[in-house]
Chain A
Amino acid sequence: MADKVILYDATRCTACRGCQAACKQWNENDEYIPPPSDQRGVQAKSHGSYENPPDLSPQTWLKMRFTETENNGKVRWLFTRQACMHCTDAACVKACPNGTLYHHEFGFVAYNKDTCTGCGYCIDACPFNVPRSTRNLFTGIAKADKCTFCTTPGLDRIAEGLEPACVKTCPPKALQYGDRDALVAEGRKRVQTLVAKGYTNAYLYGEHELDGLHVIYVLDDTPEAYGLPVDPKVPATTIAWKDVIQPVGWALGGLTILGLGLNFLIARESKIKKEQPAKKEEPAEKEK
């Protein structure tokens, strides 16, 4: 099946955060608004930015990030999405020990929340710092959450042929949903237009990153300027763990059991031989 993507054009975004609201509404992710006395909740307090809420959470899968930069004495206010990028070479899918996270037929990173063990390895592995979890530190009971590309069972818009909720609601059409090839071509065209207008650092983020993301950004500046990781990678520790240590563990465990079985057969033979032929065979053997 042809891969599908979301194309986000940061230059068209007005930061209305309608996508945030639509995401929460469609996926039934009510935010817990804590009273001021409850310090554990994500506090919706001012921290010098129009960003709100302050961070992603198990209930907030999409959040607009505002970055203020200065260029030749002129303030620039950059908007970008903070949500799962749905990588092709996805660190979370690699790290997930029981296949809870997997690639959807359209290439997105979907997951089955029921089978999540709460290990949190996806949280540590993600180069974009996206997954979040509810977690009881003492008991270890936890569940991870992140953007499902609107494929949550029962709330699956994609299977119904609809676009994701965030795309549907976007007033300036900064978000588009469609076939990867078509939207990559569209993104390239917009970047060329931006370069022609003098935005020489304009960049199409996600075309090649991690073998291609399924959320692609048209940026009028470098990824660093937008606070995005330049050339994100699956962490070396994740690769070492899954592709080296675990196979070695299997081999070592298997060989050990095999070796012990072999030893058992040989030793049993030796023991029977020693005991049966009237103990005359080896007169030199002492009772130790």
Chain B
Amino acid sequence: MEQEVERYRKPTRILHWVHAGAFTILFLTGLILFIPALGFLAQDSWTRLIHRIAAALFIIAPLIYIPLNWKATLRGVKDAFSWGMDDVGWLMAAPRYYFLADEEAMPPQDHMNSGQKMWWLLVIVFSGVFIITGLIMWAFKTVAPAALLEWMVLIHDIAFIVTGAMFFVHIYLSVIHPLMRPLRTGAWSSMARGKVSAHYACSHHAKWYERISKGEEIEHQ
């Protein structure tokens, strides 16, 4: 069997899927307020209740993960904010890669490539935006000034549009894009099983592969 390396530990994978599941429910129950033709689904507040249950999951899941995986959290946040020349190079070369399957100009990447990092940064920032605006609308609905609540709706919706559009991109680039299949390898494998082939790690995440080959902090992902 081909040699494999661990890419995401089990707690991280669980967090990913719980968060992804909660986000999908939040996304769908929010989306029906954007489509007047589907608005009848929201009648009698049931989607509001489902939205709140998913929101609780969305907030609680990372709150459980963070203290139990403190090092991985720090590491992940640091990764999200570490940007360099290889990222610029990656973003410049990405269109040729994703359209023309030409990966020659792609600079070596760390544990996350620049695109993944962009999405991850977006997730961190907009989770905060969603949670703050959402909690204000949830807890202070009857006491907050109307203007404040209107602003919260506006900001919540802008976050919804940005993350919603990028959510499609995330799913597409992870499992649908012609270069990302078959599912045995790459993004799907790393999040579903936690492992990728050493060959994949070396070719797509050269900097990371080099570090883990030297036996460096593989456990903190």
Contact = CB atoms under 8 A, between A and B. Distances in A.
Contacts of A257: 168
Given A117-B33, A140-B138, A124 B106 contact: no
A264 B161 CA distance: 22
B176 interface: yes
B160 interface: yes
Interface stretch (A148-156, A157-165, A179-187, A241-249): A241-249
A115 B49 contact: no
A248 B158 CA distance: 9
A264 B177 contact: yes
Interface string B20-36: 00000000000011101
Interface residues of B, number: 50
Nearest to B160: A249
A29 interface: no
Interface string B175-187: 0111100000000
Contacts of B179: 267, 271
Interface in A265-288: 266-268, 270-271, 273-274, 284-288
Contacts, number: 151
A238 interface: yes
A141 B150 CA distance: 19
B101 A267 contact: yes
A124 B154 contact: no
Contacts of A284: 104
A245 B98 contact: no
B64 interface: no
A249 B48 contact: no
Given A270-B99, A270-B100, A274-B101, A140 B48 contact: yes
A267 B98 contact: yes
Given A97-B36, A141-B45, A253 B142 contact: no
A245 B48 CA distance: 21
A170 B158 CA distance: 48
Interface of B: 32-34, 36, 39-40, 42-45, 47-49, 51-52, 98-104, 106, 138-139, 141-142, 146-147, 149-151, 153-154, 157-158, 160-161, 164-165, 168-169, 172, 176-179, 203-204, 206
* 6 interchain residue pairs of minimum CB distance: A98-B39, A117-B42, A249-B161, A140-B48, A237-B150, A124-B146
Interface of A: 97-100, 114-121, 123-125, 129, 135, 137, 139-143, 235, 237-238, 240-241, 245-246, 248-250, 252-253, 256-257, 260, 263-264, 266-268, 270-271, 273-274, 284-288
